[in-house]
Amino acid sequence: MLRPIKRNRQLDLFIPLPGAVAPKAQQELMMRSWMSLAKQGRSTPIEHHYDNQWVRITGDSENGIATIWDHDLLIYFVSQWREAQNRGLETSNYVHFTPYDYWTWLGLNRGGGRDYHLLKDQMRRLHTTHIETNFAWTEEGEGTRKQIHKHTHQFNWVQEWRYHEINGVVRGIEAQLPEWFYRAALDEKSVLTISEEYFRLTSGLERWLYLYCRKAAGRQRHGWQIRFRLLYEYSQLKSPYKRFAQILRKIIAQPRQIPEYTLREITNPRGESVLQILRIDQELNAPLLGTNSGLMATSSPAFLDDDIRV
């Protein structure tokens, strides 16, 4: 149950629900990687440019950019907000959760001193990762009276947070999430349910590939296709393209490596390598296409790293 805890800001805290809650991810963060896929710290900025829009993600020298494993916490919050809304319960972008409940939701048996230390590191990275973007923009009027309003937005994944201990016993973590992220999570069209097997993936690249597949291919009859080169650009990988392609082919060669999807390499008329993504329940009916493959890539504005071990 939700129970309000009054704060000096006169705001109520959202308490995540106990029990099974389906994991849901924010679509904006699935098509392009907004997180580092390396387990060690990444200091090199992540940048995406598409049409007139851009996003730049940076981290401080001590903590680096938030990782795709830190992203699990954001998925947890989104999932809880959606479930609470579906039950008609009040929510807030101020949250209070216990490490035990979070780990239980992930299906992990954790609770040692090192586990709490690593969780605090995750919260620090989410707090110190800085995002600047102009993805919100509007057009008004026509012809010579037409005006384009661009809005540059800056935020951190966690605006502020506090770690609670009483006599050395962990009681919980309190955090404030960005208002736009919270509002987007309440829009059912902005989130997608993901497989629980996602959390069992140990490679950063495999995790991001699953999120990309889930968003891009979804349940489309003939799946989805994207050129290796374009996928590499979306990844913001620091390693050379050749290395990225080698590891991607290793993943393709392992059946069922990515939950819910089968990956194939095909070639388009220009001789470029193309990734074909098919849902497992649709792969038998899907043709091995080799035409126009390189032209099929998302134009939707939504968002790998040097360590992409398989």
DSSP 118-132: HHHHHHHHHHH-EEE
Is the whole model's pTM more than 0.85, yes or no? no
292 vs 142: CA distance, rounded Å: 35
* Residue 170's pLDDT band (cuts 50, 70, 90): confident
For 283-309, the pLDDT digits (tens) are 555 554 443 333 333 333 333 333 333
pLDDT tens string 126-147: 999 999 998 655 556 676 666 6
Torsion of CA 295, 214, 206, 131, to 10 degrees: 80
Measured between its terminal Cα atoms, the distance across the chain in Å is 40
pLDDT over threshold 60, residue 10: no
pLDDT at 283: 57
| Residue 97 CA, distance from chain mean position | 20
130-140 and 147-156 strand pairing: antiparallel
In the numeric block, which tokens belong to residue 286? 């899907």
pLDDT by residue (tens digit) across 245-268?
999 999 999 988 999 999 999 999
Domains of the chain: which residue ranges?
24-193, 204-295
96 has pLDDT over 90? yes
